[in-house]
Copies of this chain bind each other. A is one copy, B any other.
């Protein structure tokens, strides 16, 4: 929980959603050096660090910030509050809902960034700066996609948080939220908790990993006596009705394995998101669909279901793509919004200087490719420019 213990922390950004709070912060290595291109700029090497908390456990998040970030940023007063009014970038609905709490408990002012703008900013930052960030996943095969920076737009961003937002992105800061669905990660976890009594998202995903959705989903073959409905291209194993077998099985909830229930739920929601995403991509002629948000969690079955849905409905025309830092898009976007302001912002919002400190062109960011799946403590090595 303390990746920042020995480092100088600066530039915290928060994304406070309905279910999770996501944090991104810069931790310097301590080896400042002068930028060769300007005498006024020094370059700080370090890394972007990530953390997350459940929104309902927001007190844990406040403590984390107090002890690991305020302390190491040198702005902490004896009472654990920031010395001055400390301004921190924040996005998501919680940036509004919990603004008073942050001010009261930590002396932090939440500098609100628009949620959609931050999501888009986060994705553009990742795609332009971090190599091997985007990948496809189908039939157990993960393939990294190198995207030409000059051929990045347009794309459809599907952010799966508690709910789902679908955003058409046409350029840097050029985007429109075109659709969404209320069947998202909150539905998966909410229904999952009610149906399986599991306590956390991780537990529910683990359950789903061992389940078989065919126990509870009604398949085409269940209706057609084991045969396909080939005339319209529906195989006997296609799901005709999610949870449809529960109608006639004569079973109660307790008679089903929680694993099978979790699996059906994950399949239902992933497939539905994939379908609605594809229909929206089709509407605007977008071939590239990027899926992000904490729902995915790098889980192969989820990515496979989404990919299959996009592939099935588009008849192979569109491709689902995923991002290694999928869960931190909004927080990363809020973080990059520091770029037009001074590094000193973290200490005080009185001294703004309109110069970029986060150069997203790739010059100032070095990234060490990581082959394993991202976990919360995985960082992005980078450098930032200080005025």
Contact = CB atoms under 8 A, between A and B. Distances in A.
B282 A247 contact: no
Contacts of A17: 223
Contacts of A92: 223
Contacts of A98: 225
Contacts of A240: 18, 162-163, 182, 186
Nearest to A225: B97
Interface stretch (A70-78, A268-276, A329-337): A268-276
A83 interface: no
Contacts of A162: 218, 223, 240-241, 244, 247
Contact of A19 (B177, B197, B244): B244
A234 to B, nearest CB: 8
A163 B241 CA distance: 5
A191 interface: yes
B225 A19 contact: no
Given A218-B18, A222-B18, A243 B194 contact: yes
Contact of A224 (B96, B181, B226, B276): B96
Interface string A175-217: 0010101111111011101110100000000000000000011
Contacts of A183: 183, 242, 268, 272
Given A97-B225, A240-B163, A190 B245 contact: yes
A322 to B, nearest CB: 21
A217 B181 CA distance: 13
A315 to B, nearest CB: 12
Interface in A257-303: 261, 268, 271-272, 275-276, 279-280, 282-283
Q: On chain A, which size bracket covers the interface? A: 35 or more
Interface in A292-342: 313
Nearest to A272: B183
A148 to B, nearest CB: 29
A244 B195 contact: no
A173 interface: no
A65 interface: no
23 contacts: A18-B244, A19-B241, A19-B247, A19-B248, A55-B248, A92-B223, A93-B223, A93-B225, A94-B223, A96-B224, A116-B232, A161-B241, A182-B240, A182-B241, A183-B272, A186-B218, A186-B244, A187-B242, A190-B243, A191-B191, A193-B246, A194-B246, A197-B253
